[in-house]
Structure 1
Amino acid sequence: MRTMLVADDDPHIRSLLRQVLTGEGYQVLEAADGLEARERLEAAPVDLAILDVMMPGLDGLELCRIIRDTYDIPIILLTARQQLSDKEQGFLQGTDDYVTKPFEPEELLFRIKALFRRYDVPSLDKIRIGRVLIDRRNYEITAGDETLLLPVKEFELLAQLAQYPGRLFSRSELIERVWGLDYEGDDRTVDVHIKRLRQRFAEHDGSFRIRTIRGIGYKLEAGNA
């Protein structure tokens, strides 16, 4: 089930979007302002964010920039403004789409599904995190001058985290994406594999680190190497 973040200081808009999105099978997280929305993002994985531009505390444009710098998820901005200059600011901050109020819920759903199709396109074969290069086609990792051959699931777990640096993944989500829906073990398998990855890359801490978010899961943070 995909999780949607809806951030808008208008409770009627949040209620409308909650009904529309849950009716389509999405899980909805709500926030009444930008600061609450940022907390929601830090606390749980989100697959798409719908942000009102004019919010107290932290407006939608600034929140859009923060999300784009940290997460790799689709963003839709909502606004009552229709001026071209306002839309330009939204796209400059990294939004994927821009919807003006009032809007038709069906149109918003079309746009959401289109964005998911775009983001679900397979990623590049190679991912670089600092001095570590992950070659997904050949299942090889180059760390500095050293070439590493990892067990398949360790490799796929690292590649999944590295593909979305800064994004928090729950253990169950990692199980689904790396081991598959038919996996019959428990999510402690993730903990074991994360421990092994940390041991393998202990000498390359400057490139990245894998952080544990207690009670939720893990995220990879790029370093400065």
Structure 2
Amino acid sequence: MGPVARVLLVEDDESVRRALSLALGRHGHDIVEAASGEDGLAVLRAERPDIVVLDLMLPGMDGFEVCRRIRAEGDVPVVMLTARGDDLDVVGGLEAGADDYVTKPVRPRVLDARIRAVLRRGTPQQRPVETYRDLVIDRAALTVARNGRPVSLTPTELRLLLELSQSPGQVLSRQQLLRAVWEHDYLGDSRLVDNCVQRLRAKIESDPARPVFVQTVRGFGYRFGPV
């Protein structure tokens, strides 16, 4: 059986990088490494990994800028490594386009679980093609189109859209979405949901400030429309 995933690990601390590489290798992943943001982008283009594990505090080009460039170039998912309890790091990383985060010191078992959860978001679901106004969702092919043009979504954005659109009109709380999309046990972290909703709206809504498809239900959560 082949590796679970080809993982690009971008971490400037050599001891941390080597320890995580060895641990993730034992979990079945194929690891490629980079010690800086600039090297990370070069390795990304050369190696085409399935997922990037990215430290935010890098010398030179920091992790926020690296994440923005990764997101500008494609949809490879990003799990960021951040200092424990640093809300500014978490929010900044999510706004830059990260799919999930793990706090330092990193427990390899937790990081492996987050990697697998992100990759599972691309698992096909057997449902027909669905059309909502100018938005077309093909669950079998895992594609989304708007006005006849493909919409490029990250695995997390796609999984969020699939989860919301499974039951149009039904309100899903942030806690329900965290369980279903991110598979998180800690349910207090609604920032993951809110930032992903913002990114999704920017891609599928004609006017993200007046969303039609991903609607906010104040005090409760989100629902998929129009209904």
TM-score by length of 2: 0.53
What is aligned with 2:81? 78
Instruction: Return the match for 1:7 from 4, 7, 10.
Output: 10
- SS of the aligned residue for 1:106 comes to helix
What is aligned with 2:41? 38
Distance 1:115 1:35 in 2: 24
1:202-217 matches, cutoff 5 A: none
**Is 1:117 equivalent to 2:120 in the alignment?**
yes
1:45-194 matches, cutoff 5 A: 45-121=48-124
CA-based RMSD: 3.2
Distance 1:90 1:54 in 2: 11
- SS of the aligned residue for 1:38 comes to helix
CA drift of 1:67 comes to: 1.1
CA drift of 1:103 comes to: 2.1
1:18-37 matches, cutoff 5 A: 18-37=21-40
- Structure 1 gaps of 5+ residues are 127-134, 139-161, 166-225
Distance 1:13 1:120 in 2: 31
Q: In the superposition, relative to structure 1, how do residues 81 and 59 fare at CA in structure 2: closer, same or farther (>3 Å)? A: farther
- SS of the aligned residue for 2:121 comes to helix
Q: Is the 8 A contact 2:8 2:31 kept in 1?
A: yes
Q: Is the 8 A contact 1:6 1:51 kept in 2?
A: yes
Distance 1:92 1:38 in 2: 19
TM-score by length of 1: 0.53
Distance 1:27 1:124 in 2: 34
Q: How many corresponding residue pairs? A: 138
Amino acid at match of 2:28: G
Distance 2:39 2:61 in 1: 9
Amino acid at match of 1:65: R
Amino acid at match of 1:28: I
- Could you tell me the percent identity over the aligned residues? 38
The Cα offsets for residues 44-97 of structure 1, whole Å up to 9 and x where unpaired, read as 211010001011121111111111122222211112252222211111011011
Of 75-84 and 18-27, deviating more is 75-84
Q: Is the 8 A contact 2:34 2:40 kept in 1?
A: yes
Q: In the superposition, relative to structure 1, how do residues 124 and 24 fare at CA in structure 2: closer, same or farther (>3 Å)? A: farther
Distance 2:112 2:34 in 1: 20
Distance 2:31 2:128 in 1: 30
